[in-house]
Amino acid sequence: MRSLASRLLAVSDRPGSLGLPSVVSGTLWFLLGNALLGSIGVFVHEAQAAPLTTTWFRCAFGLIGLTLWMLWRGAWRDLWVGWRALPWVLLLSTGMLASWWLFFTAMHHVPTGMAVVLFHVQPLWLLLLGAWWLKESVSRQRLASVLCAMVGLVLATGVLQGQAAASPGSYGLGVALCLLGALFTAGVTLVAKRLQALPLGVLAWWQCALGTAVLWLEPWQQGWPAWGAAWGWLAGLGLVHTALAYTLMYVGMARLPTARVAVLQFAYPVVAICMDAVYFDEPLRALQVLGVALMLGAMALGERRNAAR
């Protein structure tokens, strides 16, 4: 059994894993990671913790999961990235921690649907920053796919049907937090691509380690969650939405061009919107269904054009 598990874990470390071309396997890993992230809103809602406390628990449980996994694989020596890569790793980790906190905080000021819309402006930033910083070419078809997916995202969240009413006093703050978080996330994705040679799981481990070390006072100051279900939801944020999801996403990003990543990232809001509709018993309206279809269509079009090359 251990031998079989070891072979399965080793699969994700190899280019062209699963017996598929590298780009295809990268797409599968990246989509799976984004699909897992789609349920994060439910976990945050059920945990009922302060934003920084939620961020610390996500880091702490994520660190536990990733450390045990690295030890079990005998890859603990890979955790030291070297002095040359260390500044980039710390920069990426800081940016992702800021992104998590900004998103969790924004959800206290604007409805979840609006937060998802604003936060996922970042694929467009990713496309533009990738072209400027990494000098990657962006085809008109790829840009059209991203813009089409963003239109679909706006429709899918229901904001055009009055489902995102927020108090005027906090609305502007929530919008600003989401847009800033989107910029941080786009920057983190680009930095991650510069570190694609690092072993699997190392980037996610450093993010969690830094967050655990920096934010450890928050639960003491804000108060620990009541023992019970809340701890289970917070553990899920670390083990599922961090340790597992981000590892899968980093595996995929290392094998994909930035423009393709920008389109595929819309798998996260598609799953998130559908998950919220099912969990909170709020059936999607006609425009929302159309929006989901537009996002899925944009991703399918981008993948079809890429496969035809």
Residue 231 predicted with pLDDT over 70: yes
pLDDT score at 58: 93
pLDDT score at 150: 78
Section 77-88 average pLDDT:
86
**Predicted confidence (pLDDT) per residue in 128-187, tens digit:** 777 776 676 767 777 777 788 778 877 876 666 655 554 555 767 887 888 888 888 888
**Predicted confidence (pLDDT) per residue in 207-220, tens digit:** 899 999 999 888 88
Residue 235 predicted with pLDDT over 90: yes
Residue 275 predicted with pLDDT over 70: yes
pTM of the model: 0.74
CA-based radius of gyration for the chain:
19
**Predicted confidence (pLDDT) per residue in 9-42, tens digit:** 344 444 445 455 677 778 888 889 988 888 888 8
Section 48-58 average pLDDT:
90
DSSP the chain: -HHHHHHHHHHTTSTTGGGS-HHHHHHHHHHHHHHHHTTHHHHHHHH---HHHHHHHHHHHHHHHHHHHHHHTT-GGGG---TTTHHHHHHHHHHHHHHHHHHHHHTTTS-HHHHHHHHTTHHHHHHHHHHHHS-----HHHHHHHHHHHHHHHHHHTGGGTTT---HHHHHHHHHHHHHHHHHHHHHHHHHHHTTTSPTTHHHHHHHHHHHHHSTTHHHHH-PPPSSHHHHHHHHHHIIIIIIHHHHHHHHHTTS-HHHHHHHTTHHHHHHHHHHHHHTT----HHHHHHHHHHHHHHHHHHHHHHH-
